[in-house]
Amino acid sequence: MRILITGGAGFIGSHLAERLVAEGHSVAVLDDLSTGRRENLAALEGRNDFSFTEGSILDTALVDQMVAGADAIFHLAAAVGVKLIMDEPSRSILTNINGTENVLRAAIPGRKLTFVASTSEVYGKATKFPFSEDDDLTIGATKNLRWSYACAKTLDEFLTLAYVREVGLPAVILRFFNTTGPRQTGRYGMVLPNFVQNALRGEPLLVHGTGEQSRCFGHVKDVVEALVRLMETPAAQGQVFNVANDQEVTIRSLAEQVIAATGSKSEIRLVPYDSVYPAGFEDMARRLPDVSKLERTIGFRPRRPLSEIIADIVAEKRALMAGAAA
């Protein structure tokens, strides 16, 4: 199968590209390298079954051309990360909405199998746990631009499902939670790689707020396994799935586990939100997914323990630091 991955030089996309090529598929990556890195694809460079194009999902002619040459599309390109969303909300809104429209519109003529990345952010301020795919969504006030990403991805979902109903587009919506692992950077506020890097340097681990907010961290290899199985499961088409691990941990506990895993003498330092983000910033106190629908549909759910995820990131960061020092 010929598969296009938008955002394929990014964290999840590069792991997915490697897996698909290993399974015998031909993969084309479209990425503007604004957040992705070409070196993430180093293992695939020079292969006949892989190609890379530097370009934007906002370039309609380019998107049309690349979608036309594909049998299936994983649309992962997006403006992501809380820091980026707060610093450049207009970029996040326009990239996510217009880029997704370009991909979906190009996929319609050939009824291309299309996977659209969404996010746990769409659950917003919901207080019913765990989050289930059919739950009502509760988003904060528009004056708080922190919620603009959630709204943009919600519109992406509505548009995708509209095309499923109106023209029979075979599409699947992927609600990612906190996916992490090797190749993820802390550049846009991704918490676990930042914690590991600071711990290895002996620097303070900066925990925003009280540290009692909780998240569920899934290993990228588990997430990729779920994506491949969804691609191979026709019953998944037209559906929304939480793609996540459901093992919950507070951010303070995460910091403590990173310090223990690295043997670091770093301290944990609590940082008020208003010293990092604009006044009025609101965080999601808890993100706990219900992954039973995913498991029923594909017979799999992300399960790798947090200790393994931390160990993999620590090993990667140590290797990078050793290489830089050589």
Nearest to 19 by CA among 71, 74, 61: 74
Average pLDDT of span 11-25: 98
- Is residue 235 in some structural domain? yes
What pLDDT shows up at residue 82?
67
Residue 215 above 70 pLDDT? Answer: yes
- Is residue 124 in some structural domain? yes
Return the CATH number at 7: 3.40.50.720
Rounded Cα distance between 174 and 252, Å, is 28
Residue 187: band (very low, low, confident or very high) from pLDDT cuts 50, 70, 90: low
Nearest to 15 by CA among 184, 233, 217, 239: 184
What pLDDT shows up at residue 81?
66
Residues 44 and 50 sit within 8 Å (Cβ to Cβ): yes
- Is residue 139 in some structural domain? yes
Residue 71 above 80 pLDDT? Answer: yes
- Is residue 254 in some structural domain? no
- Is residue 106 in some structural domain? yes
- Is residue 116 in some structural domain? yes
What pLDDT shows up at residue 234?
98
**What is the share, in percent, of the chain residues with pLDDT greater than 90?**
84
- The tokens for 136 are 């009502």
- Is residue 144 in some structural domain? yes
Residue 325: band (very low, low, confident or very high) from pLDDT cuts 50, 70, 90: confident
Rounded Cα distance between 72 and 62, Å, is 16
Residue 188 above 60 pLDDT? Answer: no
- Weakest mean pLDDT among 84-88, 161-165, 201-205, 301-305: 84-88
Nearest to 243 by CA among 264, 231, 260, 226: 226
Residue 146: band (very low, low, confident or very high) from pLDDT cuts 50, 70, 90: confident
**What is the share, in percent, of the chain residues with pLDDT greater than 70?**
98
- State the greatest distance between any 2 C-alpha atoms of the chain, in Å, as a whole number: 58
Residue 127 above 80 pLDDT? Answer: yes
pLDDT digits (tens, 9 = 90+) for 154-177: 999 999 999 999 999 999 999 999
- Count of structural domains within the chain: 1
Write the Ramachandran bin of 286: left for phi over 0, alpha for psi from -120 to 50, otherwise beta: beta
Other C-beta atoms within 10 Å of 143: how many? Answer: 7
**Containing structural domain, residue 18:** 2-180+219-246+289-303
Average pLDDT of span 296-305: 96
SS (H, E, C) the chain: CEEEEECCCCHHHHHHHHHHHHCCCEEEEEECCCCCCHHHHCCCCCCCCEEEEECCCCCHHHHHHHHHCCCEEEECCCCCCHHHHHHCHHHHHHHHHHHHHHHHHHHCCCCCEEEEEEEHHHHECCCCCCECCCCCCECCCCCCHHHHHHHHHHHHHHHHHHHHHHHCCCEEEEEECEEECCCCCCCCCCHHHHHHHHHHHCCCEEEECCCCCEEEEEEHHHHHHHHHHHHCCHHHCCCEEEECCCCEEEHHHHHHHHHHHHCCCCCEEEECHHHCCCCCCCCCCECCECCHHHHHHHCCCCCCCHHHHHHHHHHHHHHHHHHHHC
Average pLDDT of span 131-157: 93
Residue 150: band (very low, low, confident or very high) from pLDDT cuts 50, 70, 90: very high
Which residues participate in catalysis according to the annotation? 149
Average pLDDT of span 100-110: 98
Average pLDDT of span 273-291: 86
Mean pLDDT estimate for the chain: 94
Average pLDDT of span 266-283: 86
- Is residue 142 in some structural domain? yes
**Residue 63 is which amino acid?**
V
Rounded Cα distance between 315 and 285, Å, is 30
pTM (2 d.p.)? 0.95
Strand 205-208 to 248-250 pairing: unpaired
Rounded Cα distance between 221 and 15, Å, is 7
What pLDDT shows up at residue 86?
76
**Residue that the structure tokens 């989050």 belong to:** 131
